[in-house]
Amino acid sequence: MIALSRKTILIGLCLAAVAGAGYWWAGRYGDDASGGAGKGKRLGQEIPVRIAVARAQDVPVTIDAIGTVQALNTATIRTQVDGRLVALRVTEGEDVKKGEIVAEIEPNLYQAQYDQAVAKKAQDEANLANARIDLGRYEKLAASNYGSQQQYMTQKYLVAQLEALVKTDQAIIDSAKTTLGYCKIASPIDGRVGIRNVDVGNILHASDLIGILNITQLKPIYVVFVIPQEKLLSVQNAVARGSKKVTALGPDNQTEIDPGHPGEVTAIDNQIDQATGTAKIKATFANQSLRLWPGQFVNVRMVVDTLKNAVVVPATAIRPGPSGPYVYILTDGDLAVTRNVKVSQQDENLAVVASGLKPGDTVLTSGFGRISDGAKVRVVSDEPPVASGAGEKQAQGDAAANPGELTPPRGERERSREGGRGGNWSSRSQQAGPARPGAEQEAPAPPPPSSKPEDSLKQSERAQAARPPGRQNQR
């Protein structure tokens, strides 16, 4: 009788364990599976999108290139005489005018040479004056036959010789004066002083390869850029029509570096580079605000033509496809329908559609990650464009509209409060994630029971052994 009672108890415990595991699995995954499928079905009905209307407008035809800023003039200040650098009259980064003294070489030696040349000329001029007096006397004596004609002719040519010597002295004076002037180095152009290469006190030579400093003219300034040879004819036609405006843009290729002050094409190179197939073009900018700097790389945009009444849409509406670009058209029934288009020009903002659209057509500009041909869409005005997390936002919106659908079952709430193995219902709902549109959410496989029947039997036997003998008999 006692053995029969133990067997009955063990069977009852096994059945209770199996029933508990089944009840736990139903509460854990049953509601999630049904709720996820319904949510995915709701998400697949309407897709939030943004739209834009195709319009007709005049669109400029531009040529974009990368240009290099070059100074109009650059002068390297060098010494033309040997000597010690005694002074720098300018400061690094300072603007100077043409003819302004920027550096001085020690002038003592060259001043002495100049003074010597002046003194030599004075000496020769005195000799010349004396020879001219003698020439006058000899001329009178020769005329009255009191002197020889040969003596007169000799004195005449001596005077000519001294006159030539005085001219030579004057040339030496001019040379010495010029050399002395080299001791004061003046700026040959209007520009800005660069960083000096030589400090005061150093001995300089005319044969030195490194100059004292550089002066660069910044206003006006050049921008040299290259274009493909296929676009050279368009540039030539634009220049012939008088359309020479060139705009320098920043790294984003949108912001003007010097707003309101475009440059003009001033020169087109006389040949095409055969190695690269490009033509070089030079544009001149006033650069009054000094926004352009020599050596700087800039984006250059030149308007060469204008398209009249062209159909334009936002660039985000154009989608690449295996058969060419296409767009999604919004029909009257709020359906997204694909249509192939031909794009003639496109930049960061606008795309010019040559065929496939007409003014007034409504195109989609967002939500492409979930849209397919013929999908049902919903136009939004205050939501951001649909991104990868759009399904989560939609699920949260459905939850706010139907709070009862996301209420956990009673058994789940009780297990959450008790801290059992079922865990928190809200955290499991978040882990489950939103359902994919157009697909049913698969229910996860049920977890194994918390204990095996054999383990339950062993636990029951250990419990029976631990009971007092009186209670075991009563059992």
The answer to whether position 337 is within a domain reads: yes
The answer to whether position 374 is within a domain reads: no
3-state secondary structure 48-108: EECEEECEEEEEEEEEEEEEEEEECCEEEECCCCCEEEEEECCCCCCEECCCCEEEEECCH
Three-class SS state of 372: coil
Domain shared by 143 and 56, yes or no? no
Q: What is the distance between the alpha carbons of residues 56 and 310, in angstroms, rounded to a whole number? A: 5
Domain shared by 171 and 276, yes or no? no
The answer to whether position 255 is within a domain reads: yes
Domain shared by 358 and 262, yes or no? yes
Q: Which of 366, 401, 436 is the last residue of a domain?
A: 366
| Domains of the chain: total | 2
Domain shared by 58 and 111, yes or no? no
466 has pLDDT over 50: no
pTM: 0.58
Residues 6+ apart with CB under 8 A from 111: 180
Q: Which of 156, 182, 208 is the last residue of a domain?
A: 182
**pLDDT tier at 20, thresholds 50, 70, 90:** confident
**Most distant CA pair in the chain, distance:** 189
The answer to whether position 31 is within a domain reads: no
Q: What is the distance between the alpha carbons of residues 221 and 263, in angstroms, rounded to a whole number? A: 9
* Span 220-278, pLDDT tens digits: 999 999 999 999 999 999 999 988 999 999 998 889 999 989 999 999 999 999 999 99
Tokens of 15: 């059945």
* Residues 367, 48 contacting (CB under 8 angstroms): yes
The answer to whether position 421 is within a domain reads: no
Average pLDDT over residues 54-83: 93
Domain shared by 169 and 298, yes or no? no
What CA dihedral angle connects 21, 23, 25 and 28, to 10 degrees? -130
Domain that holds residue 255: 49-72+218-366
The answer to whether position 381 is within a domain reads: no
Average pLDDT, the chain: 79
Q: Which of 366, 394, 414 is the last residue of a domain?
A: 366
φ, ψ for residue 424, nearest 5 deg: -90, 135
Average pLDDT over residues 82-108: 95
Residues 6+ apart with CB under 8 A from 124: 162, 165, 166, 169
409 has pLDDT over 70: no
Instruction: Return the CATH number at 121.
Output: 1.10.287
* Span 314-333, pLDDT tens digits: 999 999 999 899 999 998 87
441 has pLDDT over 90: no
N-term to C-term CA, the chain: 10
* Span 159-189, pLDDT tens digits: 999 999 999 999 999 999 999 999 999 999 9
Domain shared by 339 and 261, yes or no? yes
Instruction: Return the CATH number at 335.
Output: 2.40.30.170
The answer to whether position 207 is within a domain reads: no
Domain shared by 256 and 313, yes or no? yes
Domain shared by 159 and 231, yes or no? no
- 295-299, 307-311, 381-385, 407-411, range with the lowest pLDDT: 407-411
The answer to whether position 193 is within a domain reads: no
Tokens of 309: 């009444």
- 80-89, 273-282, 333-342, range with the lowest pLDDT: 333-342
Domain shared by 235 and 334, yes or no? yes
Q: What is the distance between the alpha carbons of residues 327 and 183, in angstroms, rounded to a whole number? A: 74
Q: What is the distance between the alpha carbons of residues 301 and 304, in angstroms, rounded to a whole number? A: 10
